[in-house]
Structure 1
Amino acid sequence: MSAYRRGELGPVVCVVGARPNFMKMAPILRALAARQPTLPTLLVHTGQHYDRDMNDRLFEDLRLPLPDINLEVGSGSHAVQTAEVMRRFEPVVDERQPSCVLVVGDVNSTLACTLVAVKKGIPVVHVEAGLRSYDRSMPEEVNRVLTDQVADRLYTTERSAADNLAREGIAADRVHFVGNVMIDSLLDNRPLARAPAATLGAAGADPELIAGPAGYGLITLHRPSNVDKVAVLAAILGALRDISATLPLVFALHPRTRKSIEGFALWPLLDTRRIVVLPPQGYLEMLGLMANARLVLTDSGGVQEETTALGVPCLTLRENTERPITVEQGTNTLVGNDGAAIRREVAAILAGRSKSGCLPERWDGRAAERIVDDLASWLPGRLAVA
């Protein structure tokens, strides 16, 4: 019988698996540690993203404690990776007897650990619940929908998420609007962000390239819909090359994107000194690059939120977003992956026609505190009636 079934307060098992999870979990762990009386915690890293150097760097940048357990799952197809996380996570649940399993975001590890916990009668807490792109071709969308259906406590980043959950039949008393823990991390680490010139210098690039009055644009690109088809990726890179003639660009290159560029022989499109290609960067380096950019081009969900919080114009190379508040209230504009549309929207920003945006409700750096306060009052009640 689990500790939850016995009415004991076992550890809150906090799960991270991929880079975006680290930024979301760091403020939650700090809030859990700061609360008196503290809630016992256990940090489990599934190893879904397994670059050891990048992991160590992110944990250091975010001042995250090292994981108590690393499942070291590694890469694989969606089915293989999800199944392997489940297989390795189940013995942890059996041994540690958690009072709940807390998952963040929408990666495969989120769903896998949720399924293990639910089947063992352990409450699941989902941070960043209710976000929807309504695009089931995105694996993350499937992970979000399924996790929310079985989670016991759902913490949302924006009010529209509650409407999404209500349409899916999820009771309102399971949902709690707390704000955005990604922004907790951003605000906490903004003073520590690395200067862009230092980041470029460390990578062997010329910092003077981005020192001019025009500033620079920052690029992140990794989604299969943008990088797995040669025609789509060539159109995007061609647009970036054209844009770089007016605005220098810094391209933090994801391993998946690098592999596609090499496989499709598209490096000539980036063969200009006006585009600085960097390897994957640490959190503080990326924060500095984002905060000081003239604009950001991305297909990342988290970057849409971070640029809104920073007040930096963002062009999202997707047809939809699960974070509509960044478009409705923030600095984000959806442009898809059409080269002409990308060029047109960049030109508009450079001409001074960009969104000013505002900081959404409860994106104030205190979302993690609200989560922990609610969890501390809700969890004992669940245990009492178990």
Structure 2
Amino acid sequence: MSTGFSPYQLPDEYADIRSATRDVCDAGVAPHAAEADATATFPEQSYAALRSADLHAPHIPETYGGAGIDALGTAIVIEEVARACASSSLIPAVNKLGSLPLLLDGSEDLKRRYLPAVASGEAMFSYCLSEPEAGSDAASMTTRAVKDGDEWVLDGVKRWITNAGVSEFYTVFAVTDPDLGAKGGISAFVVEKGDAGVSFGKPEKKLGVKGSPTAEVYLDSVRLPADRLIGEVGQGFSLAMRTLDHTRVTIAAQALGIAQGALDAATAYAAEREQFGKPIAAFQGVQFLLADAAMKISAARELTYAAAAKSERGDADLTYFGAAAKCFASDAAMQITTDMVQVLGGYGYTQDFPVERMMRDAKITQIYEGTNQVQRIVIARELQRGKAF
């Protein structure tokens, strides 16, 4: 029976978001990707291109001067930017990661004080959870925040902070009651780059996403007014985990875009490269590599988009879907980029073609915002709690 309605089709507005983002990335991001990787420098020209189109922080609501693009549209933006340059895709991804705690729990004053600058592109927002001895075990953080009159004094070190030193604002998680631990003993604060006592370590020398600086953030008796607290005292760890439920979707989208970029490059190469008198795309061995990649990308895209829709609605099974999308898409991206290097053979192993960069970039998506081993623990836990599907 035909009703004239297709129940399984994205509205045209998402196709428009994809098309507009791809146009911007083809012209203003992709041309700078190799240089950002080779020089390990923040891609200022790519940032300018994204800012000009309101794609640098598309998730910020219109109320605060943003584009007001929903979670699914933001995932599509990140996917398309990652297809061109994984480092540049961390601009919208990390702006969302850093500012989402404000959107979830911040006071209206905090939102109006900090979000407009991010929406306009004057500032970026980073997220400070991990520490030298507290990675997957984030509850073991030692950074302290001690109340002193009407101020909080922060001391500690945060590690693996994306865009450290470039971002103006930082969501910092710190222990406010050591006796309570994760359940009531951790709080979240907004720290500004210019606050006295804030400094940064040397950028890490990384395998991939080299155009996105990663460094330690040092907090040496940083005094903050009481109104820099995000949400309630003691609710920081819960806020950190809720934030990651939403932003794991952005990592899935990033991985998806990297994989799509590699498949696009390898497909074009296979159609042109000739051996034994015909294009290598005519050989079954190559066809199978391309076909497997296409299937995995299609599956990852459906899972990622479903998770993004659940993020927008705040569904009860978001934790499961966010972890599953991030884990599946990043594992697929690592396999696909490796296989696409194989399609290009010796050329794929050189910097003359982008797939070797994409293979290096893909690896981090299996690690950050929770390793894929941790994601599997989360998935299994949600199954046992009856909160999957």
TM tier, smaller: under 0.3
What TM-score comes out, normalization by structure 1 length? 0.27
TM-score (norm 2): 0.27
**Higher helix proportion (structure 1 or 2):** 2
